[in-house]
Amino acid sequence: MRVKHKPWAKDRLQEFPAIYIENPEELKGKWQEVFGNNNPIHIEIGSGKGQFVSGMAKANPNINYIGIEMIESVLVSALDKAIEADVPNLRLVARDAKLLEECFEKGEIAQIYLNFSDPWPKKRHTKRRLTNPTFLTIYERLLPKTGEIHFKTDNRSLFEYSLVAFSEYNLLLTFVSLDLHNSDYEGNIKTEYEEKFSAKGFPIYRLEAKFDRN
């Protein structure tokens, strides 16, 4: 989807240093100091306009959340939602997922959310998918032994690809739903895309997985 460029976005983000972290690389291994507690840290990669991560932070005050979105013109909308939610356990970062290891120490992240990631349907773009083995290697380094990945999408092809990629990478699938909104799963917080696609009758696919490191 084409994103409208907002030249003022960076300046707007910089007005709220308590929420927007401009230089996350400087905080590698120090994120619990940023939040001022020892609560687990969950990150959402590709936060978009921030409805999910703000909702999660409000629903779970004993967990720290970091929303990561590389496009500042989109992240500024997440900032507005974070301000409205008024949650001290949420920070926002503008970075490409490929650079996450520059921002977080090994095992520093307890859980990763991938919600409605770009499906990159063309075969030549497979390596850009956030569930590609290249990214799974990064996630494995960031997560502790008990860390998990939670993934949601409306794109069946991406979901099928991800199931195979996760399994071949030796991840354990602990939850799989082919129609989340008609399942008995409780506590689901919707993203903007999720509301849009489910309203059109599209099923929402979801999985939970963890690395088999016993």
84 is in an annotated binding site: no
Residue 23 CA from chain centroid, whole number: 19
192 is in an annotated binding site: yes
The type of residue at 177 is: S
Name the amino acid, one letter, at 116: F
Q: How many CA atoms lie within 13 A of 39 on its CB side?
A: 18
| Residue 49 annotated as part of some ligand binding site | no
Tell whether residue 44 is among the known ligand binding residues. Answer: yes
Active-site annotation, residues: 118
Is residue 112 classed as helix, strand or coil in its secondary structure? strand
Report whether 118 belongs to an annotated binding site.
yes
Residue 179 counted as an annotated binding residue: no
Q: What's the CA gap between 130 and 97, in Å, rounded? A: 8
Q: Which two tokens stand for residue 113?
A: 């959310």
Q: How many CB atoms lie within 10 A of CB 84?
A: 11
- 140 labelled ligand-binding: no
Residue pair 160/168 in contact by the 8 Å Cβ criterion: no
Q: In the chain, count of helices (H) and strands (E)?
A: 8, 7
Cβ-contact 111, 40 below 8 angstroms: yes
Task: Annotate 186-208 with b (16+ C-beta within 10 A) or e (fewer).
Answer: eeebbbbbbeebbeeebbbbbbb
Does residue 154 have a known ligand-binding role?
Answer: yes
**Cα(52)–Cα(13) distance, rounded to whole angstroms?**
19
Summarize the annotated binding site as residue ranges. 44, 69, 96, 118, 122, 154, 191-194
Summarize the annotated binding site for S-adenosyl-L-methionine as residue ranges. 44, 69, 96, 118
